[in-house]
Chain A
C-alpha cells in the first residue's frame, strides 16, 4: 500500500479551487476529511505522500489557503 497524504482547507471554496488546480498536475482524489483530523471544512484532497511537496508548492503559487497537510490515517 502506498502512503497517502491529505490536505485540508478552511473553506469549501478553497477546496474546490485547489481541486481544479491540483488535478492538472498530480493524481488526486476528493475525499471527505477523515474523522480523525479535525478541520473546518468537510472536503479534503488526497494524494500520494511523495507528491506532498509539489502539492504544497502549487497551492502556495496559486494563493490557495489551506489548513494543513496530514498523513492519511491508517485503516
Chain B
C-alpha cells in the first residue's frame, strides 16, 4: 500500500505524484487531496490508465483509493481519428473585438448544429469566459455536451479570472490533462 499525501498541493502536483506511483507499479494507492477539483483530476487520470478508483470524504480532505494491479495499468490509447478544438480567447481573431465576439457565437452555433467531427473542446486564457454563467454560447456548448463532446476548461485560467465558481458547462482541467489531449489527439484545430 502506497500512501500519497497531496493535501494542499497546487494543481497539477497531486496528479503527477499519483501518476508516478502508478507507473512505478504500486498495487494499491491511497491519495489524500484537499479539494474537489484535485479529487476529480486524480480520479480521471487513474481511470484513464485503467485503474479502478473510488473516493471517500474524510474529515478535512478526500481519500482516493486506487487499485493498480501492475499489469492492468496499460495506457489506454484511443485508436482512430480524434480531433480537438483549442479555443484560447473569447473572440475569434484580431482586428475588431466586437466582430470577434460575434464570430465566436456564430462559430459555436454552427458547430452545435452539425454532427460533431471532434471529440473535445479545450478552453484556455480568455476562452474560459465561454464556459461560465452568462456566456453567449452556453446553449451551443450544452448541445455539444449532449452529443458526447468533452469540454475542458483550464483551471488556472478560471482561477485567474475569478470564474472557477461560475463554470456552467464542462469540467475543470489542468495543463497536464490538456497536454495529454494534444499528445494523443490526431488533429488539434486552434481557433
A residues near B, CB below 8 A? 12, 15-16, 19, 29-32, 43, 46
Contact = CB atoms under 8 A, between A and B. Distances in A.
Residue in A12, A16, A30, A31 with the greatest tally of chain B CB atoms within 10 Å: A30
Contacts of B102: 15-16, 19, 30, 43
Contacts of A12: 99
List the 9 closest A-B pairs by CB distance, nearest first.
Answer: A30-B105, A30-B106, A31-B109, A29-B109, A30-B102, A32-B106, A31-B106, A16-B102, A32-B110
Interface of B: 98-99, 102-103, 105-106, 109-110, 113, 139-140
A47 to B, nearest CB: 12
Residue in B99, B102, B103 with the greatest tally of chain A CB atoms within 10 Å: B102
Contacts of A19: 102
A30 B99 CA distance: 11
Nearest to A23: B136
A19 to B, nearest CB: 6
Contacts of A30: 102, 105-106, 109
Contacts of A31: 106, 109-110, 113
B145 to A, nearest CB: 17
A30 B110 CA distance: 9
